[in-house]
Amino acid sequence: MRDIQNEHDNREVPLQKVGVKGVRYPVCVLDKSKKNQNTTATVDLFVNLPHKFKGTHMSRFIEVFHKHHSNITMQHFLEMLEEIRTKLDAEKAFGSITFPYYIQKAAPVSGAEGIMEYICSYEGEVGEKERKFYITIEVPVTTLCPCSKAISEYGAHNQRGKVRVKLLYKDFFWIEDVIQMIEECASSPLYTVLKRQDEKEVTEHAYDNPRFVEDVVREVYLGLKKMNFAWFSVEAENAESIHNHNAYAYTSS
């Protein structure tokens, strides 16, 4: 059969990325307590395309990813991209997957069990001589305003926020350890199930640990530095409860 993708293109315009985007696929990732966790990822996979080729073979991206989808671990993600690069005869391959990661979490006093969702991403680039791999973890938290606490005769406004870290992969680590560290840097962690005694504990804990977004980013920065990541970035965004805008802070190592 005629293979139009491999035919010559005379416009002499190289494309930096071609491939598939927004693929929804079941995957299996590592879980610290249960060894493995099944979840669903949104997948983007690309290669570069030299100017002489008319197109790439889209089905090959899915074929390779399907081969690896039951073992999409940090260690194997770049191996999957290298296979895509080789199979499509490309100089570079790029890929990202974003997936919800679930952790069973007990309420602080009653011990009532619930499941928390955290959004994670793997992002990689593989060339003949260079490889880059980043992991992004997004953690929902509670923050209580230090200024509101300082100037108010009673109470203080608080809000739900998100902390997002992007980590350059060097050595293996557990996602759960990073999540726990981030939650400890906020005014309070979030929980799925809270009884009344838990709600009292969470409310008072947040009041005793007021944090601006600036405080959260600085504390997470110090926590990641202790974990010896080669490079990282930290951002925090609060959906302010008494303003019609969000508060935001960012830094990188």
Tell me the per-residue pLDDT of 170-208, one tens digit each, with 9 for 90 and over. 888 999 999 999 999 999 999 999 999 999 999 999 999
**What confidence score (pLDDT) does residue 125 get?**
95
Nearest to 178 by CA among 132, 238, 119, 237: 119
Q: How confident is the model at residue 138, as a pLDDT?
A: 98
Identify each DSSP E strand in 4-112 by its residue range: 15-31, 35-49, 92-106
Q: Residue 66: which pLDDT band, with cuts at 50, 70 and 90?
A: very high
* pLDDT confidence of residue 57: 73
pLDDT digits (tens, 9 = 90+) for 20-36: 999 999 999 999 999 99
- Cα–Cα distance, 144 to 132 (Å, whole number): 37
- Residue 7 pLDDT > 90: no
| pLDDT higher than 90, residue 14 | no
Query: What mean pLDDT comes out for the span 208-236?
Result: 95
Task: Please report the pLDDT score of residue 49 as a whole number.
Answer: 80
Does pLDDT of 5 surpass 90?
Answer: no
Q: What percent of the chain stands above pLDDT 70?
A: 92
- Give the pLDDT score at 75: 77
pTM of the entire structure?
0.91
CB 223 within 8 A of CB 185: yes
Read off the pLDDT of residues 98-149 as tens digits, 9 standing for 90 and up. Answer: 999 999 999 999 999 999 999 999 999 999 888 999 999 999 999 999 999 9
Phi-psi region of 169 (alpha: psi -120 to 50; beta: other; left: phi over 0): beta
Q: Vertex 232, ends 159 and 121: CA angle to 5°?
A: 70
Higher pLDDT, 205 or 48: 205
Inform me whether the pLDDT recorded for 82 exceeds 60: yes
Instruction: Note the helical H segments in the chain.
Output: 58-68, 74-87, 146-151, 175-185, 196-208, 213-226
For residue 137, the model assigns a pLDDT of 98
Q: What is the mean pLDDT of the chain?
A: 91
Confidence band of 221 (pLDDT split at 50, 70, 90): very high
> Is the predicted pLDDT of residue 252 greater than 90, yes or no?
yes
